[in-house]
Structure 1
Amino acid sequence: MKKTIIIFYTLIIYAVAELIWWGYMLVILQPNRMGMILGEGSIFFAVFFLGAFYLHRSLNKERKLQEQKKNFLLSVTHELKSPLASIKLLLQTIQKRESLTKAQVLDFIEKSLTDIERLDDMVENMLLASKIDNSSYTFPKASFNLSNLVDNIVNRLQISKCDGNQQIINAEIEPKIEITGDKFALTSVVTNLIENAVKYSRPCEALEVKLFKKEGKVHFQVADRGIGIADAEKARIFDKFYRVGSEDTRNTKGTGLGLYIVKQVLDKHEATIRVKDNKPAGSIFEVVFG
């Protein structure tokens, strides 16, 4: 990509130099037509530089996309290796240590299943993002209980209990909220938003999940007290592959697909999502189904 940009700028400089030279020669040879030459030359230069500007912008956009894809591959590799290594270690421990109690074996199996669910979520995200991109997914809609869906996901993602038996996810879910939509795709929306809040929160830091009806609309909120999102980043967090920072400086896990999928799915359901600052720290994501 760098070689392409260097060639592009070299050609631009060469073309400008040639145009100036030929313009100078025409003025020398036909001084009585200087006004026409300068006028037509100005229009040509304006069109030329306008085209060069848009081509430059396209090249920059392509370069950034390539960098994001590279970061995506790096993060996916890490996301795959980490749970696979954990599962392998747990299973090898069960296989080699005959002295393990039944409770220890069950604990190792539960941890392995948690890692498998994490892998399954990531694969589902990649498959859904691919289907959205090539327009092969139709978003079949039917009526279902959103309250039960959110409650099940909260229970699955509930990591642990901390000091004082405080759970990491505090949920306030209004019962029997029914909506019409694609249950599979909206499961991905709820999962991604809650998982993001967990990722960007400190260990044992409580986060809030709320589902309620207000003025005939269904509201789903996820609030954390994590690192927050800078105002300059808020407009870009729903872009495909986009993640704040770089893979070398980022400690949190992720592929950059979660919020992209969230926005695409909600657009198909004519729902809105906005992100705002939480006080004193963190972020609040709010989804509204009209």
Structure 2
Amino acid sequence: MKKTLVIFYAIIIYAVAELIWWGYMLVHLNPSRKGMILGEGCMFVTVFLIGAYFLHKSLNKETKLREQQKNFLLSVTHELKSPLASIKILLQTIQKRNLTKEQILNFIDKSLLDVERLDDMVENMLLASKIDNRSYSFPKAKFNLSVLVDSIVNRLQISKCDCNQQIINAEIEPKIEITGDKFALTSVVTNLVENAVKYSSPCETVNVKLFEKDGKVYFQVADHGIGIADSEKPRIFDKFYRVGSEDTRNTKGTGLGLFIVKQVLDKHQASIKVKDNRPAGSVFEVVFGLT
């Protein structure tokens, strides 16, 4: 891509130099038409440079997209290898060592967690692909959102501390029902809660709230993690985009989660906004209109 840009800039410089040279020659041969030649030349140069500017923007955009896709492939490769390696080690341990029934069940539980992690990632990629090529129809039906959120929170509840404390604190108002695509909204809830856990420090509490107010349903996920700079908030829902801080680059992810969240919520006429948490971290708030 760099070679292409160098050739592009060389052609632009050559074309402008040739234009100036031919303009000079025309003025020299027809001094009486100097005003017309200069006017038309300036107009041509202006149109030419505007076209070159937009072409330059297009090439830069393509370069960034290629870089994001490259990072995506690297991230996916790492995301796949990590749980697969863990599952392999656990199964080999069960196979080669004389373990108690309790130890075997513990290893199986850990393996199943890694399988669920792989399943979530594959579902994310499939859903993102279907959304991108507009082949997903978002079938809607009435369902209990409270039960859905509660089941996802329980599944993602992870202990990172020696004291085995629960790091996801959930306040879920019971019997909240909405009409929507349960499969796609499962991905929304999972991605928001997983992100909050992922970008938080060990033992930091993630707060999840679901409640109804003034005829609307509110779903909030608040963390005390690294936070998101104001300059990056408008871009976090772009496909493949990941926050550019060093902390985020060291955190696993494909850049598809928030893209899926925004696309799914748009199809449900729901809104999402992100704001700063205090003293640190981020709050994502989703608002559904009751139908």
**RMSD (Å) for aligned C-alpha atoms:** 1.4
Partner-residue secondary structure (3-state), 1:235: helix
Q: Where in structure 2 are the equivalents of 1:266-277 lying within 5 Å? A: 266-277=265-276
Moved more, 56-65 or 249-258: 249-258
1:162 Cα deviation (Å)?
4.0
1:204 Cα deviation (Å)?
1.6
Partner residue, 1:214: 213
Does residue 168 of structure 2 align to residue 175 of structure 1?
Answer: no
Does residue 262 of structure 2 align to residue 259 of structure 1?
Answer: no
Partner residue, 1:39: 39
Partner residue, 1:4: 4
1:263·1:273 contact (CA, 8 Å) conserved in 2?
yes
1:74·1:247 contact (CA, 8 Å) conserved in 2?
no
Q: Deviations over 1:73-109 (max 9, x none)?
A: 11001000000000000000000001x1111101100
Q: Which amino acid aligns with 2:34?
A: M
Does residue 198 of structure 2 align to residue 199 of structure 1?
Answer: yes
1:166 Cα deviation (Å)?
3.1
1:251 Cα deviation (Å)?
1.6
Q: Any unmatched runs of 5+ in structure 1?
A: none
Q: Any unmatched runs of 5+ in structure 2?
A: none
Partner residue, 1:14: 14
Q: Which amino acid aligns with 1:129?
A: A
1:139·1:182 contact (CA, 8 Å) conserved in 2?
yes
Partner residue, 2:75: 75
1:225·1:278 contact (CA, 8 Å) conserved in 2?
yes
1:225·1:283 contact (CA, 8 Å) conserved in 2?
yes
Partner residue, 1:138: 137
1:26 Cα deviation (Å)?
0.6
1:268 Cα deviation (Å)?
0.7
Q: Which amino acid aligns with 1:58?
A: S
Does residue 80 of structure 2 align to residue 50 of structure 1?
Answer: no
2:86·2:111 contact (CA, 8 Å) conserved in 1?
yes
Moved more, 239-248 or 18-27: 239-248
Partner-residue secondary structure (3-state), 2:254: coil
1:140 Cα deviation (Å)?
0.6
Partner-residue secondary structure (3-state), 1:84: helix
2:226·2:247 contact (CA, 8 Å) conserved in 1?
no
Q: TM-score, normalised by structure 1?
A: 0.97
1:165 Cα deviation (Å)?
5.5
Partner-residue secondary structure (3-state), 1:205: coil
Residues 166 and 247 of structure 1: is their aligned pair in 2 closer, same or farther, counting only changes over 3 Å? closer
1:69 Cα deviation (Å)?
0.4
Residues 235 and 136 of structure 1: is their aligned pair in 2 closer, same or farther, counting only changes over 3 Å? same
2:242·2:248 contact (CA, 8 Å) conserved in 1?
no
Residues 142 and 289 of structure 1: is their aligned pair in 2 closer, same or farther, counting only changes over 3 Å? same
Distance 2:115 2:244 in 1: 28
2:172·2:209 contact (CA, 8 Å) conserved in 1?
yes
Moved more, 241-250 or 204-213: 241-250
Partner residue, 2:234: 235
Task: Give aligned-pair identity as a percent.
Answer: 82
1:203 Cα deviation (Å)?
1.1
1:246 Cα deviation (Å)?
7.6
Distance 1:161 1:176 in 2: 31
Partner-residue secondary structure (3-state), 1:231: coil
Q: Deviations over 1:204-254 (max 9, x none)?
A: 211100000111110000000000001111011100000123899722110
Q: Which amino acid aligns with 2:156?
A: L
Partner residue, 2:100: 101
Does residue 122 of structure 2 align to residue 120 of structure 1?
Answer: no
- How many positions carry a matched residue from both structures? 289
Distance 2:88 2:32 in 1: 84
Distance 1:248 1:278 in 2: 18
